Amino acid sequence: MAVSAPPSPGTRGVLDRLRGRLKRGEPDGPPGPWVLLAAWGPCGYSPVAPGTVGTLGALPLFWWLRHLPLPLYLVTLAGFTALAVHAADRSGRYWKVADASPIVVDEVVGYLVTMALFPWSWPGALAGAALFRLFDVSKPWPASALDRLKSGLGVVLDDVVAGLYAAGALLLLELALRALLGCSGALPWYCAELAR
């Protein structure tokens, strides 16, 4: 019978750090539909940067919603946010960690908040995703305070705040690009009208 050697202290430290990055416990059974919604399908199961993958996974939904008038977009976003809070709450109980790594539906909501006033364009959509991730990771107040609420509501609301910060930053970026580069010739993405 072969006996495997225990991991070396250096290897054990690396393994502990990797486990620490993946915030989740051991579930008691297979994931249900609320857990899959919270993971935004396969996005939350990404072994690397599930939050970023979840944000990029929101791009098709934003593309699909892009033609809605702003009031209908906001009503749809409010309904989706309520579903996301419930899914995050159920998924947190499933993973035994309120803000488990596979829960990325909050990133989807935050990204949709970021892009609420902006029309579709690839450069704008990707700039919004990058800015949202910046504010989602840095969690400026009050996102940091909401992040301490260990519930589905806290999980989603801190991303809503990050989305509001990112929307403001995207607007400032567009204004800066207009001032520096102008809007002549073919209409650049940063010169498109807001509030579709």
pLDDT tens across 98-143, in order? 888 899 999 999 999 999 999 999 999 999 999 999 999 988 888 7
- For residue 5, the 8-state DSSP code is P
pLDDT-based confidence at residue 23 (cuts at 50, 70, 90): low
Both tokens of residue 99? Answer: 């803000």
pLDDT above 70: residue 8: no
Q: What gap in Å lies between CA 168 and CA 157, rounded to an integer? A: 17
Q: What is the pLDDT of residue 160?
A: 95
Q: Which of 45, 156, 146 is nearest to 95 (CA)?
A: 45
